[in-house]
């Protein structure tokens, strides 16, 4: 599960993908949140620290890719 595989063009590691899909499926991003960070970490089988690292890294990759697709070309050159 450690290999990097593209998900819709975004190169996520297996654990990043698992964390993100589980977070969405279990309502982590819902308002109100349906699962806590501790519960999500337990569901995935990692420590809370590891979960938050994988969640942040995965989210950054997904958002960066999506924003790059939508950003006007004049703003992509920085």
**Model pTM?**
0.76
Contacts of 35 (CB under 8 A, 6+ apart): 23, 26, 27, 28, 43
List the domains of the chain with CATH numbers.
4-70 (1.10.10)
Q: For 40-61, write each residue's pLDDT tens digit.
A: 999 999 999 999 999 999 999 9
Given a contact cutoff of 8 angstroms between Cβ atoms, the answer to whether 44 and 38 are in contact is no
Instruction: Give start and end residues of each alpha helix (H) in the chain.
Output: 14-25, 37-44, 48-70
Which parts of the chain sit beneath pLDDT 50? 1, 78
Q: Which residues pair with 5 in a beta bridge?
A: 12
Nearest residue to 15 via CA among 4, 7, 26: 4
pLDDT on residue 59: 95
Cα(25)–Cα(60) distance, integer angstroms: 19
């Amino acid at each position: 599960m450690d290999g990097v595989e593209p998900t819709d063009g975004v190169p996520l590691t297996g654990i990043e993908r698992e964390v993100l899909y589980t977070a969405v499926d279990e309502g982590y991003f819902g308002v109100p949140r349906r699962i806590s960070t501790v519960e999500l970490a337990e569901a995935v089988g990692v420590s809370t620290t590891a979960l938050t690292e994988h969640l942040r890294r995965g989210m950054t990759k997904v958002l960066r890719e999506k924003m790059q697709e939508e950003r006007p070309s004049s703003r992509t050159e920085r």
